[in-house]
Structure 1
């Protein structure tokens, strides 16, 4: 069970599981903490896992005014401090990976290491056009199911569409009692599509692992490679046959990879 935590002037829904070195998981566009269920279940025997709802997702309210990635990074930092976590391994995917970048830049002492899944440093023309389409699609789709049917084409592999995995995710999303509003989706999206750390990545000092899905249409490997090349000492790996969210589609593979990375960082002290 989770709880509401006051941090940075807002109430955030937080779920925590397990014991061991601290890990903070940061979700992407529209996703509540539950998106990390396979990590909350699969890694909590070795780590103390914390996941939370970003502003405007799940049970965390949408504030007045625009959202920004640095502001959401400040939220994550405030949550760590409110939970008395001096430093944590940070893992973020998609929009959450952008928040993780800003967290490492603005609050380096809180970041033990970084895992950036499906990430980018600056939107290119393809990403800007794609996210522009998502913005008006959220308003004009004839139903929530139709919106999810279209949106998930960019998120999951053809395999997951064929074997019923995507249909299961759609049913779970439609049944979730805290759906995201169109306004919240669009405001989060605007923050993520204007993200730009390209000229600041060299300032990141935390050990970093950048992961990309070979078949990812939303954040293809070419964007992740730029991030890895910009962060001193970062590793870059492409997951063959995977798309935007392998931590959901192949959680055992993802969990084993990040566990190995975190164990290596811990061993180095």
Structure 2
């Protein structure tokens, strides 16, 4: 990835009262608030470097390390999607961030939906990238159970023995070697047990009934070669969220913010401009 004048962004920490956890985050830029919510499998706020690189010129970007990721404390094993959403709400409130554009990828997309459902005053718009309505809400039950069984088995082994096996589901075969190596390096900091807690929360979440009630401008942003959340999942989100916009990135996999950063950032910027000018 190219060097950047905006990176590394300093890692800050904040104790969040609603969940009683210390949360790490990165912040840069000025302008409308843009909240970035990463996915699972060891990812944290560092995965958003391409967005800090290009979008901090007109947005106040805040990317958290979700509980149990990066520098944040691990949550209780009982944590589920509502708990993550309430913790996120407390975090945003503590930082004085409301009416924000909330961009989530994969697990982060489901979290963005849950946040808007439970704390609607915090969201100005939603950007759902490679997102699900929870695994239970977007995948067949047998696929949910297959994923959980596989992860529960893998988590008992050293991460270096199994993390690379998940890369084909995150990036396409055409992804450059340095991008693949960088992505694996990001994943290598995984908190195994906390990641299993996060994925159990994702597996149990069924947010389908929430989707028709989403009442803020929404962009569904999906790679057409996404192997983790197939395009049909994104199309269903688009269909169920009235008035949502759909942007499909050609030749791109699940980790679209990395694999097609320029196209991804352009779609986010254009959408935010439309929201700002009341064209949505």
Q: Choose the corresponding residue for 2:242, options 229, 232, 237.
A: 232
- Mean CA deviation greater in 92-101 or 4-13: 4-13
- The 5-angstrom pairing of residues 1-269 of structure 1 reads 1-7=10-16, 8=18, 9-29=20-40, 30-121=42-133, 122-125=137-140, 127-139=143-155, 141=157, 143-160=158-175, 163-174=177-188, 179-268=189-278
How many corresponding residue pairs? 263
Distance 2:11 2:65 in 1: 11
Other structure's SS at 1:153 match? helix
- C-alpha displacement of 1:158: 0.6
- C-alpha displacement of 1:140: 5.2
Other structure's SS at 2:53 match? helix
Conserved 8 A contact 2:124-2:217: yes
**Once the two structures are superposed, what CA deviation does each residue of 1:186-238 show, in whole Å capped at 9, x if it has no partner?**
11111111111111211110100001111111101111111111111111222
- C-alpha displacement of 1:137: 4.3
Unaligned 5+ residue runs, structure 1?
A: none
Conserved 8 A contact 2:172-2:252: yes
1:113 to 1:55, Cα distance in 2 relative to 1, 3 A: same
**Hey, what does 2:4 align to over in structure 1?**
none
- Mean CA deviation greater in 87-96 or 54-63: 54-63
Other structure's SS at 2:274 match? helix
Other structure's SS at 1:39 match? helix
Other structure's SS at 1:51 match? strand
Distance 1:149 1:97 in 2: 23
Conserved 8 A contact 1:12-1:55: yes
Conserved 8 A contact 2:212-2:241: yes
Q: Give the TM-score of the pair, scaled to structure 1.
A: 0.92
**Hey, what does 2:3 align to over in structure 1?**
none
**Once the two structures are superposed, what CA deviation does each residue of 1:46-96 show, in whole Å capped at 9, x if it has no partner?**
100000110111111112231211111111111111011122000000000
Unaligned 5+ residue runs, structure 2?
A: 1-9
Conserved 8 A contact 1:127-1:218: no
- C-alpha displacement of 1:108: 1.0
